Structure 1
Amino acid sequence: MDVDKPIVFMFSGQGSQYYQMGRALYDGHPVFRHWMDTLDRSCLAIGGYSVTRELYDERQPAGKYFDRLEYTHPAIFMLEYALANVFMELGLHPQYVLGTSLGEYAACAVAGALDYETALASVIVQAEMIRTECEPGGMTAVLAPYSLYYDEPVFHTNTELASVNYDTHFVVAGGEAGLTAVEQYLRGREITFQRLPVPYGFHSRWIEAARMPYARHLGSVTLHSPRMKVVSGCRGEQENLDAEFLWEAVREPLFFRSAIKALKPEKSKIYIDLGPSGTLANFMKQNKYLGLATEDIYPVITPFSKEMTGMERIVARIAAEQKERPWL
Structure 2
Amino acid sequence: MNSNIDDFSKLNPIVFHFCGQAVHWGEMALELYKGNKIFRESMDKIDNYLKINYFNGESMLNKLRKSTNEDKNNEDQYLTHSILFMFQVSMFELLKSEMILPSCIFGISCGEMASLYCSGILSLKSVCDLLIERAKLMDTFYNLNPNGIPFFIKMGADQFNEKYSNKYSDLEVSAKFSNSSTLMATCNLEQFEQLEKEFKENNIFIKRIPSKIPFHSSALDCIKDYANKTKDVEIKNSNSNSIIQTYCSYNGKLYDQSNPFNIFESIRSCVDAESITHDIIKKFELNGAKKLIFVEISPHPVLTNMVYENVKSSKSNVFTTVSIDDTDPNVISLSSLNKNNDDIVHINNIINIIKKHTKINK
The two structures share one fold, judged by TM-score above 0.5: yes
SS at match of 1:216: coil
Matched residue, 1:10:
17
SS at match of 1:313: helix
Q: Is the 8 A contact 2:14 2:102 kept in 1?
A: yes
Would you say 1:162 and 2:174 are equivalent positions?
A: yes
Would you say 1:135 and 2:145 are equivalent positions?
A: yes
Inter-partner Cα distance in structure 2 for 1:153 and 1:100: 24
Would you say 1:316 and 2:352 are equivalent positions?
A: yes
Matched residue, 2:45:
38
SS at match of 1:139: strand
5+ long unaligned stretches in structure 2: 1-9, 315-319, 325-331
- From 28, 33, 55, the counterpart of 1:26: 33
- Structure 2 residue identity aligned to 1:86: L
Inter-partner Cα distance in structure 2 for 1:144 and 1:90: 38
Would you say 1:304 and 2:304 are equivalent positions?
A: no
Inter-partner Cα distance in structure 2 for 1:204 and 1:285: 26
Alignment of 1:237-276 (within 5 A): 237-240=253-256, 244-265=261-282, 266=285, 267=289, 268-276=291-299
Inter-partner Cα distance in structure 2 for 1:165 and 1:306: 28
Residues 156, 121 of structure 1: alpha-carbon distance in 2 compared, 3 angstrom cutoff: farther
Matched residue, 1:52:
61
Would you say 1:289 and 2:318 are equivalent positions?
A: no
TM-score (ref. length: structure 1): 0.87
Matched residue, 1:150:
162
- Structure 2 residue identity aligned to 1:94: P
Inter-partner Cα distance in structure 2 for 1:294 and 1:193: 25
Inter-partner Cα distance in structure 1 for 2:210 and 2:304: 20
Identity of aligned residues (%): 18
C-alpha RMSD of matched pairs (Å): 2.6
- Structure 2 residue identity aligned to 1:277: H
What is the deviation of 1:232?
2.8
Matched residue, 2:246:
230
What is the deviation of 1:66?
4.1
Size of the alignment, in residue pairs? 321
TM-score (ref. length: structure 2): 0.80
